[in-house]
Structure 1
Amino acid sequence: MSAQRKDDHVRLAIEQQHTHRGINQFDEVAFVHHALAGIDRPQVSLATSFAGLDWPVPIYINAMTGGSAKTGVINRDLATAAHATGVPIASGSMHAYFKDPSCAHTFQVLREANPDGFVIANVNATASVENVWRAVDLLQANALQIHLNTAQETAMPEGDRSFGSWAAQIEKIAAAVDIPVIVKEVGNGLSRQTVLALKELGVAAADVSGRGGTDFARIENGRRELGEYAFLHGWGQSTAACLLDAHGAGLPLLASGGVRHPLDVARALALGAKAVGSSGGFLRTLLDGGVDALVGQLRTWLDQLAALQTMLGARTPADLQACDVLISGGLREFCDQRGIDTRPLAQRTTTGTAQAAGSSPAPGAATGAGVAAHDRTESTR
């Protein structure tokens, strides 16, 4: 049953990639174009740092799959592409391995095909500390990812219905392991309140993983004969909304969910993400064109992100946080209702950096300017 469910997830995720999913709120984030802001390409670095980690690039292959023979092949191919490009990679949920150790190799291939790369093990919030260590040891993992998925579990026919112990178990896991712990949603987003709670639980970073990419509630509802949980399709906040909401909450933020191309990567970085992940789009490329196609896509994304940084005058991914951005549409309405002042985002080059509009931000200017999105009182938090 578990192996079949993993194969169903891949099939239904690919079906979603071929269908329209409505508005993507990254399109409601626009850079202000300053025609003299550009710098020289050799000045640009793609390196990023967070939670004591140094990554050569700010793009990662996010959690997908594992647990069946077919998904083991997918994991091997994903890891091969990660190895060829230096891109970090996360495993899919390793719960299947805890239930059936015979499927260990479907996850272990992530390390075998990527012996020197950055590999993240993925577990759920109910995993025991013993099982967490099993997962970390199996992958020789550099970091641990704990996923939160109440909407998915609710729509899943055989899903969990008890969520009250999750926070305490996350705290227990974070205290027990000696590698950074990243907590992520699976596509419904992390609110500011959730990120503040995660900080208190001792995790190292939060992947907001918002609405806009693969919809796992929709996937699980697709496994139901009657599809009676269709009302959960599209549940949650977009990735862009989550980044704006959680800015300044005290944890390094990663971003995934609805990331379609390098401009979305740049937008997420400008809104405060330290690195940006994608799953469904990379999976579609792999299944349509093979490993070489995915390697080509990853290299293209990295090259185009560097090109965007060059044009915008951002020497590093962090410097994109000093670029002027405009927030419009439903995303702006979300910010208004959550008490987030977006006006400073459009005035970063004239406030906070002592730079004239149109000039290149100084190295490290992003640190001084910040996202400046939360002009809130305590009563609004």
Structure 2
Amino acid sequence: MAQSRKDDHIRLAAAQQAQLTGAPNAFDDVDFIHHALAGMNANDVDISARIGPWTMPSPIYINGMTGGTDTALPINTALAKAAAATGVPMASGSVGLALDDPATAESFTVIREHNPDGIVWANLGAGRTLDHAKAAVELLDADGLQIHVNPIQETVMPEGSRNFSAWLELIEDIVSGLDVPVIVKEVGFGLSAKTVQQLYDIGVRIVDVAGSGGTNFARIENDRTAHPSSVIDAHARFDWLEPMGLTAIDCLLDIAGVRELATQPDLTVVASGGVRNPLDVVRAQALGASAVGLAGVMLRVAMADGAAGVTEVINLFTTRIRQLYALLGAADAHALGSTDVVITGPSAEKARGRNIDVTRFADRVRI
């Protein structure tokens, strides 16, 4: 059943990405103020990024997606080969399936096999123990562990767990007992500033806000159930939970609005969820993200064009990001955080509802 669910996730996530291509989302609420003479030489731009202890050649990484099935094996192989060729970090899909059924491990271990010297993060769902975390890291000889929290998905999933009460304590056990850094992320419904503060208080120093706007796992779980054949069946579904959550922009603005978090020098915030193009990457960085994760974009390319296609797209993203830095006059990521942006639309409206002053982002001109 678990393997069948993973194959459903791949199929339905790819279908969603086809529908999302070119569609507007919250990143469009972030507009750079154009200063026509601010530009610089692209050759003088440094787009390297840091996530915790890791230095990356560019501010992008391949986020956790899949594993555990025959369908997943060529996808992870393609992603791992591209990560090795470009030097970007890569996270696996949840290795919980491999821990429960070792026969499925090959679709995960190919990541390290094809990327022996790169930055690899194992991925595991919240609710697992420290022993599970150690086993996940060992399985991939991973440099770090990505823990995903997915209460909305678990609520919608017919076979999901609805006991979330122990998650924070279990994450704290893992953070204190694991020898590698831990990244905590959502699965597409966002991490609020309150949640990030809770995580920071138990020792988590890297968070991926993983907001809505990309792959919607509530919709995937709804689509996995039988189509309603009656009024009662229709009410048994969770269609009304699909819009729930925070976008990556919501999360970044929320975190920026909490001084205690925004000024913590040892907290690394990265962003993902609905990232479509290099401009979205730079938008997220301008609002405080140290780096940006790509999943849906990479999944479609990996399925269609394999490792060569993923490598080409990563290189294109890297080139375009460098050009955008130069256009904006940002010599590095720190300078990008001083560029002027206007926040409009639903993102601005929701921020105002949380008493966050978005106008301050529009007046950061460097003299």
Q: TM-score, normalised by structure 1?
A: 0.90
Cα separation, 1, equivalents of 2:19 and 2:338: 35
Matched ranges for 1:55-94 at <5 A? 55-94=56-95
Give the 5 Å matches for 1:102-113. 102-113=103-114
Alignment of 1:31 onto 2:32: yes
**2:204 is the counterpart of 1:203:** yes
- The answer to whether the 8 A contact 1:32-1:346 is kept is yes
CA displacement at 1:319 relative to structure 2? 1.9
Which one of the candidate residues 335, 345, 352 is aligned to 1:319? 335
CA distance in 2, matches of 1:43, 1:66: 39
* Cα deviation 1:90-143 (Å, max 9, x = unaligned): 000111011101111110111000011100110111111111111101111111
Unaligned residue ranges in structure 1 (runs of 5+): 350-354, 357-381
Residue type at the aligned position of 1:318: H
Q: Of 217, 242, 248, which residue of structure 1 is paired with 2:251? A: 242
Q: Flag the structure with more relative contact order, 1 or 2, with Cα contacts below 8 A and sequence separation at least 6.
A: 2
Range that drifts further, 163-172 or 70-79:
70-79
* Partner SS state of residue 263, structure 1: helix
Identify the match of residue 273 of structure 1 among 282, 289, 300.
Answer: 289
Instruction: Give me the identity figure in percent.
Output: 46
SS in 1 for 2:336: helix
Structure-2 separation of matches of 1:50 and 1:284: 25
Give the residue type in structure 2 aligned to 1:63.
G
Query: How far has the Cα of 1:20 moved from its partner?
Result: 4.5
Tell me, in whole angstroms, the C-alpha distance in 2 between the residues paired with 1:18 and 1:53.
32
3-state DSSP class of the match of 1:66? coil
Whole-Å Cα distance in 2 between the matches of residues 142 and 284 of structure 1? 26
* Equivalent in the alignment of 2:122: 121
- The answer to whether 1:167 aligns with 2:168 is yes
The alpha carbon displacement at 1:240 in A equals 0.7
Which amino acid is the alignment partner of residue 173 of structure 1?
I
Once residues 196 and 56 of structure 1 are traced to their aligned partners in structure 2, the CA distance between those partners, rounded to angstroms, is 29
How far does the alpha carbon of each residue in 1:48-85 deviate from its partner, in whole angstroms, 9 at most, with x for none?
Answer: 12323222221000000001111122111110111111
Give the aligned length: 351
> Could you state the TM-score of these two structures normalised by the residue count of structure 2?
0.93
Q: Distance between the aligned counterparts of 1:50 and 1:158, measured in 2?
A: 34
* Conserved? CA contact 1:136–1:144, under 8 Å: yes
Distance 1:92 1:20 in 2: 21
CA deviation profile, 1:320-340 (whole Å, cap 9, x unmatched): 111000000111101101111
Q: Give the match's secondary structure for 1:138.
A: helix
Provide the alpha-carbon RMSD of the alignment. 1.3
Alignment-derived partner of residue 342 in structure 1: 358
Quote how far apart the aligned CAs of 1:318 are: 2.8
1:230 maps onto 2:239 in alignment: yes
Cα deviation for residue 317 of structure 1 reads 2.2
Secondary structure at the counterpart of residue 337 of structure 2: helix
Superposed counterparts of 1:289-308, under 5 Å: 289-308=305-324
1:6 maps to 2:15:
no
Amino acid across the alignment from 1:49: R
The answer as to whether partners of 2:78 and 2:310 remain within 8 angstroms in 1 is: no
Deviations 1:161-220 (A, max 9, x none): 100000000000000012111100000000110000010011121100000000011111
CA distance in 2, matches of 1:106, 1:142: 18
Please list every run of 5 or more consecutive structure 2 residues that lacks an aligned counterpart in the other structure.
229-233
Q: Whole-Å Cα distance in 2 between the matches of residues 143 and 43 of structure 1?
A: 31
Q: Could you tell me how far 1:26 is from its partner in structure 2?
A: 0.4
